[in-house]
Amino acid sequence: MMGDLAIFVAHDSADVWAHQDLFLLDNTGRPTVVAGVPPDYFSETGQRWGNPIYRWDALAADGYRWWIARVRQALQLQDFLRLDHFRGFEAYWEIPGEAETAVSGHWEPGPGEALFTAIRDALGDVPFVAEDLGVITPEVVALRKRLKLPGMRVLQFGFGSDASNGFLPHNYTRNTVVYTGTHDNDTTRGWFASLAPSERDHALEYLRSTERDIVWDMIRAAETSVANVAILPLQDPLELGSDARMNYPSKPEGNWAWRCPPDLLTPAVAARLAELVTLYGRAADVTQQHSDE
């Protein structure tokens, strides 16, 4: 089981209430600055998440005990931990608390390697996966490599440029987790239907596919890649369209409403998936992974 360990926590949470000295709050307990991301592919005004920012100096002075306790508890529930917004551990987007959008934010340095050294010293080698999507700098890549953490590759991001695109399978390394799409993406069927003609042609040519077979050819590309782990949103093996999308980044309502009708989970779909994971050696224990970095 892979869990999602968000870098930030909600303002209206037991963590912030009980540890107000570890967050940048005013004397009434409200955040003076909040987290988010700058303008990007998903939003012209960025994303103002509203989470309070840590006082990293206070956390460091305490030996990162709060973070160690948080990771220890997460490991009671999950086998692997996906570090959401990994780039924020190198540098994060800080937004004034009164700002309505993320446009006026700026970058601030994160805790870097020191946090992970403290976690490792306390808990050993934790099975982290780095969510290294978005505005990724050489410094973020260097941090991930020093920590020897697998990064993420999303097939849907691979098309429309050239052969050097890092999301295309021929550019992967083994220490990688590949997704056809994530919870933030449209389903592969919906994504393909919305592509510009040039991107659609590139995808069909690269995958040697047809419009009818594009979803399963994307799945096959993930399974055949050298990435140690391949993850498929359930909507893709079921070949569902945009009405089955899980989440729209920056959209505050209407997310996470999709539920899988049980009659879609047919033996035929299971058999097709079983054939692929067996054919490409992915039926073995997922914990038996090796890195080439």
User: Which residue in the block uniquely carries the two structure tokens 């099975």?
Assistant: 127
Q: Over the range 26-47, which residues count as b (16 or more CB within 10 Å of their CB) and which as e?
A: eeeeebebbbbbbebeebeebb
- Beta-sheet pairing, 47-52 with 176-179: unpaired
| Coil vs helix vs strand at 15 | helix
CB 9 within 8 A of CB 84: no
Give the C-alpha separation, 157 to 178, whole Å: 11
CB 11 within 8 A of CB 90: no
Catalytic residue among 15, 184, 199, 217: 184
Give the C-alpha separation, 199 to 161, whole Å: 8
Is 84 labeled as catalytic in the residue annotation? Answer: yes
Burial group, residue 121, by CB count within 10 angstroms (0-12, 13-18, 19+): exposed
Cα Rg for the chain, rounded, in angstroms?
Answer: 20
Is 131 labeled as catalytic in the residue annotation? Answer: yes
CB 7 within 8 A of CB 53: no
Give the C-alpha separation, 57 to 60, whole Å: 5
Burial group, residue 163, by CB count within 10 angstroms (0-12, 13-18, 19+): exposed
Catalytic residue among 40, 84, 113, 213: 84
Is 184 labeled as catalytic in the residue annotation? Answer: yes
Catalytic residue among 90, 94, 131, 223: 131
Give the C-alpha separation, 274 to 282, whole Å: 9
Give the C-alpha separation, 206 to 163, whole Å: 10
Running DSSP on this structure, what letter comes out for residue 53? P
Give the residue numbers marked as catalytic: 84, 131, 184
